[in-house]
Amino acid sequence: MIKENYIISEKDIQIKGDSTNFKTELTTISSNTEVSLFNFKITAKSPETPKPITLKWKIPAHNIKGVWKPTTDFSKRIQADWEMKHMESRISIDAPVISLFGHDDSNSHTFACSNAINKLELNAEIREEDDHFYCHVSLFLEQQSKLTDFDIQIRIDQGKKHFSEALKEVSKWWETFDDLKPTPVPDIALTPLYSTWYQFHQNLEEDVLIEECKTAYNLGYKAIIIDDGWQTNDDNRGYDFTGDWQPDRISKTKEFVDNVHATGMKIGFWYSVPFCGKKSNAYKKFKGRFLTENHRWAPVFDPRYPEVREYLINIYKNALIDWNLDGFKLDFIDDFRLYSDTPKVNPDMDFHSINTAVDRLLTDVITTLRHINPEIFIEFRQKYTGPAMRKYGNMFRAFDCPGDATMNRIRIADIKMLAGNTAVHSDMITWHNDETLEVAALQMVNTLFGVPQISVVLKDIPKEHLKMVEFYTKYWNTNKNLITKGHFTPFKPLANYPIQTVINDNKIIIGLHDDHVVQIDETFENIDILNAKLSTSLILKTNTDLGNYNYRIFNCKGNLVNQDHSKLNKGLMEFNIPACGLIQLTIKK
């Protein structure tokens, strides 16, 4: 019988699968009462193609409320073993980590794998017959090349800590591997930006964009991403003309970029990296060198061919040099994958594995671009926000969730726990022009623990909306270092993180997104609480006397509505804060 404090050892991990022609070996690298590290290795006398192998172990279902995976969004529930839907991880999908968390947000069992490039399957499922969680990592699921040796590390954390701390420690562990070293993050990646996508789509008007840049810059936004549409006059939402990347709509591209720079804004262009539309010249040139021609959007380039990689690298290199861009939004990376009709390896390819070919492509892209401009920003969006992608990109963005403030908050938090110092951006904030002020503000305040991206036509929104955007953008910029570099903790994952905090030595910012009690147990010089909800009651609980504080209360337009002082003594205290407003408390000296 497994005891509650049982520590997983190598004898508890089973090796399942056909390992014919290979010797398998599982060894312990290190082990203590919190973290155990194992090495799994296979070797063969001559090159062989391994078949799928699974490492399995079980733990008792003690204090497990839910299961955290990198991109499960609202669905962090416990999964039964008969559901059989496993999590896939590879270079451009998710990350090889799962965390089982307790009813008190504690870490129960977090396990991770060192190989973030190849395709793996992972899961942790409960078996009703014995009330145990069965955990596994499956390897060699789409192996296309022979090998004589291969090894990975498995890290298991059973330490008693907040589950988010276990995830952050996994992120730091990944950084120790040579093939997972993150690229540097320029300051511009840590700055609010304006996106054209939700409001303009492919209907871009240069004069309007320049005026929007002027307004956005004055509000505190320092970069613009020109999304799909700059390269084509086609506005059918499709990708038939991708692949050539000749600027038809914004034809005087360098002049346009210069005009944007004249407003003070940096500028990046969007590219759908894998797609080669059937109406492009590139489609004719690369016919036969696609992973598939049956994708719903467009044929997908095959990066196993060196000439394909060279072609793509030169597109971005030339755009950077010719137009003086500051960054790129490189999209749809997750569509580089194995399809049912993907051609088999042939002598013209220099890679057998699609995933390692993608690694080569993106490594060469970031190396080439940073050689020209060390401050270049590269944005990737979920689900390609795992540890391998930190090598090539310095901005990770929440996956598209237009108008969904709660989902935006969740996705920012989920990315942030694994992203280290990589900039974590919100999905683009958008709302209807006729929306009430406070509900529009919900879109804004739900993004403030990430870097805000906005996609509204600023010249068209009501003046009070503009005041709200200005207030919270200025607030974010004022607290930029704390928000991007402070100690971040999201609470209650199954309740969609209704409370979030970020802390440094003397200040705490608290986001309250639902009607919960805010608890503070230590003294800070400055306490900011965002009442990021429509109700106005804010209950503060302290377990000790914290001292005397002056406080100021603002509405979502930044208007001061109340100021006073209060003793934060042990017990409960209620404040009346406007919907989506802010209270700032400063200790009296």
Q: Tell me what the pLDDT averaged over the chain comes to.
A: 95
CATH of 187-397, one of 3.30.110.60, 3.40.630.30, 3.40.640.10, 3.20.20.70: 3.20.20.70
Decide if pLDDT at 438 tops 90.
yes
Q: Using one digit for the tens of pLDDT, what is the confidence trace for 379-409?
A: 999 999 999 999 999 999 999 999 999 999 9
Q: Using one digit for the tens of pLDDT, what is the confidence trace for 325-373?
A: 999 999 999 999 999 999 999 999 999 999 999 999 999 999 999 999 9
Domain residue limits, the chain: 10-177, 187-397, 487-587
Query: Which whole-number Å values give the CA distances from 378 to 171, 303, 334, 511, in the listed order?
Result: 20, 19, 16, 28
Distance between CA atoms of residues 510 and 513, nearest Å: 10
Mean pLDDT of 467-484: 98
Contact (CB, 8 A) for 268 and 225: yes
Closest residue by Cα to residue 365 from 352, 353, 376, 349:
376
The pLDDT-based confidence of 569 (bands split at 50, 70, 90) is very high
pLDDT of residue 2: 36
CATH code, residues 487-587:
2.60.40
pLDDT of residue 13: 96
CB atoms within 10 A of CB 323: 18
Q: Using one digit for the tens of pLDDT, what is the confidence trace for 102-148?
A: 999 999 999 999 999 999 999 999 999 999 999 999 999 987 788 99
Decide if pLDDT at 3 tops 50.
no
The dihedral through the CA atoms of 223, 225, 230, 236 has a sign that is: negative
pLDDT of residue 375: 98
Contact (CB, 8 A) for 379 and 268: yes
Distance between CA atoms of residues 149 and 44, nearest Å: 6
List, in sequence order, every beta strand (DSSP E) within 298-417.
300-301, 327-331, 377-381, 395-397
Q: Using one digit for the tens of pLDDT, what is the confidence trace for 199-249?
A: 887 778 899 999 999 999 999 999 999 987 677 666 665 688 899 998 887
Q: Using one digit for the tens of pLDDT, what is the confidence trace for 252-292?
A: 999 999 999 999 999 999 999 999 999 999 999 999 999 99
The pLDDT-based confidence of 589 (bands split at 50, 70, 90) is confident
Sequence length of the chain is 589
pLDDT of residue 335: 98
Distance between CA atoms of residues 224 and 253, nearest Å: 15
Q: Using one digit for the tens of pLDDT, what is the confidence trace for 188-200?
A: 999 999 999 898 8
